[in-house]
């Protein structure tokens, strides 16, 4: 079993007025095979946590640690983190003109695994995953995310997840902008990865609707850069009924 461990994590970003602290002492352990939901209102630090784990240079760790099976994640470059088995599905996937989806995916797989996958096997796996995600086969020859709808971009993120097979996936508001059908399709893709590997998932979301399809064992509420409550799936049900007001009042 692998463990992604976060200890007393403090993170700041540079602003015109100087450094601004966003995360204020986050602690969290994610084991392989587990699904954790991190929930909270806008501006609470959810996406900051995701991008800090993946190595975005804008986010400055001022103290604390992130380790993967005891190895210092913060000492790794972004590509080293990917090779170690960390994966980020972005809230707003970017367009990459001039690079087709098929070339992007095979290049990424080669970089992560250290060797190019056998072409015939790779094409078969990619087509199967695209079919499961209800992506037209022509998307393989389109430029990455160029002209894609919001739902198509999110399906492409989960296509990457299925083919790259990381150890831990951070899904940053994957449900954002999805209609009901796309939400179900994307969730099914995540569940396939959960059922076929020992994938650990950190699912970041505002809302409980994605939790109808992806069922976390652990739920964490983050407000003003701190985890203020933790529990099981029942905590998400309480948030559905009560919202975040009681946490926000305590944070004032």
pLDDT of residue 250: 63
Q: What's the rounded mean pLDDT across residues 154-164?
A: 95
Question: What tokens were used for 89?
Answer: 């599905």
Q: Which of 56, 47, 57 is nearest to 22 (CA)?
A: 47
pLDDT of residue 207: 84
Question: What tokens were used for 5?
Answer: 């461990």
**251 pLDDT above the threshold of 80:** no
| DSSP conformation class of 35 | E
What is the residue-averaged pLDDT of the chain?
A: 93
pTM: 0.92
Q: What's the rounded mean pLDDT across residues 152-166?
A: 95
Please report the sign of the dihedral spanned by the C-alpha atoms of residue 143, residue 82, residue 61, residue 23.
positive
Cα of first residue to Cα of last residue in the chain, in angstroms, is 39
- Domains parsed from the chain with CATH numbers: 3-251 (3.40.50.300)
Percent of the chain with pLDDT over 70: 98
**29 pLDDT above the threshold of 60:** yes
pLDDT of residue 1: 86
Helix then strand count (H, E) for the chain reads 8, 12
Whether 24 and 225 have beta carbons less than 8 Å apart is answered as: yes
pLDDT digit string, tens, across residues 164-209: 999 999 999 998 888 999 999 999 999 999 998 899 999 999 888 9
Whether 36 and 216 have beta carbons less than 8 Å apart is answered as: yes
Whether 164 and 109 have beta carbons less than 8 Å apart is answered as: yes
């Amino acid at each position: 079993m692998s463990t992604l461990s976060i200890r007393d994590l403090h993170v700041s970003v540079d602003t015109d007025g100087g450094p601004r602290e966003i995360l204020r002492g986050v602690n969290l352990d994610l084991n392989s095979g587990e699904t954790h939901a991190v929930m909270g209102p806008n501006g609470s630090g959810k996406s900051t946590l995701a991008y800090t784990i993946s190595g975005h240079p804008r986010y400055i760790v001022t103290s604390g640690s992130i380790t993967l099976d005891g190895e210092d994640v913060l000492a790794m470059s972004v590509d080293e983190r990917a090779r170690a088995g960390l994966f980020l599905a972005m809230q707003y996937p970017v367009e990459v003109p001039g690079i087709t989806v098929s070339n992007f995916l095979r290049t990424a797989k080669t970089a992560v695994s250290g060797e190019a996958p056998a072409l015939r096997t790779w094409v078969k796996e990619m087509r199967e995953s695209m079919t499961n995600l209800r992506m037209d086969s022509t998307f393989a020859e389109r430029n990455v995310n160029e002209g894609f709808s919001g739902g198509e971009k999110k399906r492409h993120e989960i296509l990457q997840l299925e083919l790259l097979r990381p150890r831990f996936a951070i899904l940053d508001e994957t449900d954002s902008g999805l209609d009901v059908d796309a939400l179900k399709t994307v969730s099914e893709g995540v569940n396939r990865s959960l059922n076929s590997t020992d994938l650990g998932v950190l699912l970041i979301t505002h809302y409980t609707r994605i939790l109808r399809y992806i069922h976390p064992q652990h739920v964490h509420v983050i407000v003003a850069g701190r985890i203020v409550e933790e529990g099981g799936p029942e905590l998400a049900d309480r948030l559905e009924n009560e919202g975040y007001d009681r946490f926000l009042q305590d944070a004032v």
